[in-house]
Homo-oligomer: A and B are copies of this chain.
Amino acid sequence: MASVRRMVVIGGNATGMAAASAARRLVGEDELEIVVLERGDFTSYSSCGIPYWIAGDVPDLDTLVVRGPDEHRSRGIDVRMRTEATALDTGGRRVRLRGPGAGEEWLGYDELVLATGARPVRPPLPGIDAEGVHGVQSLDDGRALLQALERAEADAAGRDGRRRAVVVGAGYIGVEMSEALVRRGYEVTVLDRSPQPMTTLDPDMGRLVHTAMDGLGIETVTGVTATAVRTGADGRAEAVVTEDAEYPADIVVLGLGVRPETTLAREAGLPLGESGGLLTDLSMRVRGHSDVWAGGDCVEVLDTVAGRTRPVALGTHANKHGQIIGANIGGDYATFPGVVGTAVSKVCDLEIARTGLLEEQAAGLGLRFVTVTVEATSRAGYYPGAEPMHVKMTAERRTGRLLGVQIVGREGAGKRVDVAAVALTAGLTVEQMTSLDLGYAPPFSPVWDPVLTAARKAAKAVRAAADRPHGG
């Protein structure tokens, strides 16, 4: 009888549980034991759903949990909750762990999966660890924030009723959280050190988001850096301090983005990229380690447009990685070719999307390019509900290859970015894109889809630039 191999997974969210489940579907318990270590209280949940839970769109925490520990256990996966991995010994093929009970112990593995996710950026400012300052990365974070909000709201009701929140950072999470807090009745101030919110967009497109946030009554203060959180006599946060001003807050939410959580991996000497994410091969195997796999927010993936690796914290990739790792451990074959950098978000009815490179990124990579912006409508102009949308498109000079698209608009704008995402994957030129056979009917699109209109203008700009060998 062959001995039973053991797969140990660190992290019980998207990547970890997808890997465990995919491997389990391929290999029975008589051949493979699967142990998942999860330090929190939840498995397989949607972090991306937290802002909507806070806003009240999602009724409760359970709704965000796709599959709980017991459900995974019933499928033959040994899920150990409140259990943290504290050290890796890749030479000895073992993980040191600390469970909810007594001390620490070592657990051997044949295959190790690192699915440790990301941690919110938390700058080392005075007061940053005070009560009332919240990140929103995990479901545990979300639960803590919701409890704090409910207490702040009770306090406010006993005073003048005003609820005040400061959000530090105006990226995706910051913007989504701002909206959620506005909808809970807060006066919200968002602070960001950049000239415009949403630095995942070029500044001219970020300005459109800024205007929309103004329209929601969100005070967006750009070009400022938080220097401290001022706390009251009870130790709770009372205001966020910048060089020039102080912004009173019953609640402070950190939306400064995330970094790969690779402390263990670093200590174990595993290969990390420039941004601190684990480096893997295309099968999601950690480089140079035949029995260690990694995926999700803790790895760097190949950005195929930039030709470089970088971390991309998104549930959709985390799930794909998990599937791929599980398939490979289970004896099947799968690879992850990389990303093109697609992201989509929403502030009230404003849809914000991007894929590929920003202008600054393209310039930093040594690319010469042309950029155009068009304003069009989401539907035929005469059809009810037609909404204006802006599409910005960047193409490489000479080759005319698509480099990136950014979209800001209303209903029906955001997911149009997918056309550009596929075009980037396929390496299409903007000239080729002008004849794409996209769906047309008045309730769905003008006769020229906004993406086609942008492609036509970009193709024209590429041709014009061909005549100027040294110009921009």
- Residues of A bordering B, CB below 8 Å: 14, 46, 48-49, 52, 57-58, 63-64, 314-317, 319-320, 336-337, 339-346, 351, 353, 355, 380, 382-384, 412, 414-419, 421-426, 428, 432, 434-445, 447-449
State in angstroms the CA–CA spacing of A384 and B346 once bound together. 14
Q: Are B382 and A64 in contact (CB under 8 A)?
A: yes
Among B336, B353, B383, B416, contact of A435 (Cβ-Cβ < 8 Å): B336
Q: Are A48 and B442 in contact (CB under 8 A)?
A: yes
State in angstroms the CA–CA spacing of A428 and B317 once bound together. 20
Among B319, B412, B438, contact of A448 (Cβ-Cβ < 8 Å): B319
Q: Are B426 and A439 in contact (CB under 8 A)?
A: no
Q: Are B58 and A437 in contact (CB under 8 A)?
A: no
Task: List the number of copies, as a whole number.
Answer: 2
| Shortest CB distance A455–B (Å) | 11
State in angstroms the CA–CA spacing of A49 and B449 once bound together. 16
> Nearest residue in B to A407 (C-beta to C-beta)?
B439
Q: List 17 A-B contacts (CB under 8 A).
A: A14-B447, A58-B382, A64-B382, A314-B440, A315-B447, A337-B435, A341-B437, A342-B438, A342-B440, A344-B439, A344-B444, A345-B441, A417-B439, A419-B419, A423-B426, A425-B437, A426-B426
Q: Are B418 and A439 in contact (CB under 8 A)?
A: yes
| Shortest CB distance A348–B (Å) | 10
Q: Are B320 and A441 in contact (CB under 8 A)?
A: no
| Shortest CB distance A123–B (Å) | 26
Q: Are A46 and B315 in contact (CB under 8 A)?
A: no
State in angstroms the CA–CA spacing of A58 and B379 once bound together. 13
State in angstroms the CA–CA spacing of A180 and B340 once bound together. 42
State in angstroms the CA–CA spacing of A259 and B443 once bound together. 24
Among B64, B342, B384, contact of A437 (Cβ-Cβ < 8 Å): B342
In the complex, besides A46-B380, A52-B383, 15 extra interface pairs with C-beta distance below 8 angstroms are A49-B442, A52-B382, A52-B442, A341-B437, A342-B437, A346-B443, A353-B439, A414-B444, A415-B445, A418-B438, A418-B439, A419-B422, A421-B436, A421-B438, A422-B438
